[in-house]
Structure 1
Amino acid sequence: MNFRLAALAASMTVSLLALPASAADYVIDTKNAHASITFRIKHLGFSWLTGRFDKFSGNFTFDDKNPDASKVKVEIDTTSIDTNHAERDKHLRAADLLDTDKFPTATFESTSVKASGPDKAKITGNLTLHGVTKEITIDAERLGGGKDPWGGYRDGFTGTTELTLADFGINRDLGPASKTVELMLNVEGIRQ
């Protein structure tokens, strides 16, 4: 009888150890351009000026059983700003705007993730931009996850947030319609 209990206990222990942990670490797939950070800001209130950051990197931890335990960390090369207009990009890098000579990097690190519906969450964290760190919230949505054709596993998310430029010490007067910029994030992560 004791032998059977011991065998059952050993079998259950092995089975539990074989279960995969539901929290997993991911690297954002920027190498194959499966992620993007884009933005838009109103131009004179008449149209949208759009652009992107071509170089960034990051990672995240995601637990589909407990999304609130997830974490995100991203680093952006602000010198890689690209609005498809070389002269404008040069001006955006200048001292009166992003001042990329002095602040070549922006970072975001989450401090909390709160599920707000099926596959939706509010990610709060600290954004450091232009040498200023402020708390922001990203409205995020999980697009899906699963095995990829190369034998790996991926998860994908999208998110949006709005930044007030003056909050980050960017005080250049771009007109009354251009006080804020919208950021759009599309992230595909490869499970490590």
Structure 2
Amino acid sequence: MKSFLVLLLILPIVGFSQTKTSINKSSSSITYAMNHIMHAWEGTSNQLNGIVQTNANGQIEKVAILAKVSSFDSKSSNRDAHMLEVVESLKYPNISFQSNSITETNKEKVQVKGILDFHGVKKEISFEADVKKKGTQTSVIGNTIFLLEDFNIERPSFMLTKVDNEVKVRFEIVW
């Protein structure tokens, strides 16, 4: 009887167990894409820090990701240096995302809502992402769009024409 009572007390704790896992830095990345009337370009960061929290069933409950603005590489050192000026990277060195809610829409898709913190502005965003499991590794792959003006970033110009306001973001987070 005594062991039955102990089991009843422990079961709820085990049933609601959560696992926090650091992301796989060598496999995770975030890429932004921007456009100008003269050309389009992308910049990628593979230097992410982050934690994913899953429940006992392996469902994703929370995500927190951080990247240094200076870690994005567009394959043009001049463009990257100018981007660091435009986004005031000395004052705002990081871009981060923290989820508020993650809803599994099916076994391979999640709807994510959370706060994107960039250039000193916190803005709620939402997006859908694909979940892929291979052995013990899980990947979340998706994309979202934000506007420079939403983060109080003045659009840079080239040849008297400003870049598009829209920034497209692709990501793959692996753990």
* Counterpart amino acid of residue 165 in structure 2: K
Q: 1:35 aligns with which of 1, 25, 28?
A: 28
Q: 1:50 to 1:62 in 2, by over 3 A?
A: same
- Please state whether the residue corresponding to 1:92 is helix, strand or coil: helix
Query: TM-score scaled to structure 1, two decimals?
Result: 0.76
* Counterpart amino acid of residue 39 in structure 1: Y
Q: Identity over aligned residues, as a percent? A: 24
Query: TM-score scaled to structure 2, two decimals?
Result: 0.83
Q: 2:151 aligns with which of 148, 162, 168?
A: 168
Q: 1:62 to 1:47 in 2, by over 3 A?
A: farther
- Please state whether the residue corresponding to 1:82 is helix, strand or coil: coil
- Residues 15 and 56, structure 2, Cα contact 8 Å, conserved in 1: no
Residue 52, structure 1, aligned to residue 47, structure 2: no
- Residues 22 and 65, structure 1, Cα contact 8 Å, conserved in 2: no
CA deviation after TM superposition for structure 1 residue 105, in Å: 1.0
Gaps of 5+ in 2: none
- Residues 54 and 82, structure 1, Cα contact 8 Å, conserved in 2: no
* Counterpart amino acid of residue 45 in structure 2: F
What corresponds to 2:19 in structure 1?
Answer: 24
CA deviation after TM superposition for structure 1 residue 86, in Å: 0.7
Report how many residues are paired: 172
- Please state whether the residue corresponding to 1:100 is helix, strand or coil: coil
- Please state whether the residue corresponding to 2:133 is helix, strand or coil: strand
Q: 1:75 to 1:8 in 2, by over 3 A?
A: closer
Q: Tell me how far apart the structure 1 counterparts of residues 166 and 61 of structure 2 sit (CA, whole Å).
A: 28
CA deviation after TM superposition for structure 1 residue 20, in Å: 7.8
Q: 1:146 to 1:66 in 2, by over 3 A?
A: closer
Q: Tell me how far apart the structure 1 counterparts of residues 165 and 3 of structure 2 sit (CA, whole Å).
A: 66
Q: Tell me how far apart the structure 2 counterparts of residues 39 and 117 of structure 1 sit (CA, whole Å).
A: 27
* Counterpart amino acid of residue 142 in structure 2: G
Q: Tell me how far apart the structure 2 counterparts of residues 126 and 164 of structure 1 sit (CA, whole Å).
A: 14
Q: 1:186 to 1:172 in 2, by over 3 A?
A: same
What corresponds to 2:93 in structure 1?
Answer: 104
RMSD, aligned α-carbons: 2.9
CA deviation after TM superposition for structure 1 residue 116, in Å: 2.6
Residue 84, structure 1, aligned to residue 70, structure 2: no
- Please state whether the residue corresponding to 2:153 is helix, strand or coil: coil
Computing the radius of gyration from Cα coordinates, the structure with the larger value is 1
- Please state whether the residue corresponding to 2:70 is helix, strand or coil: helix
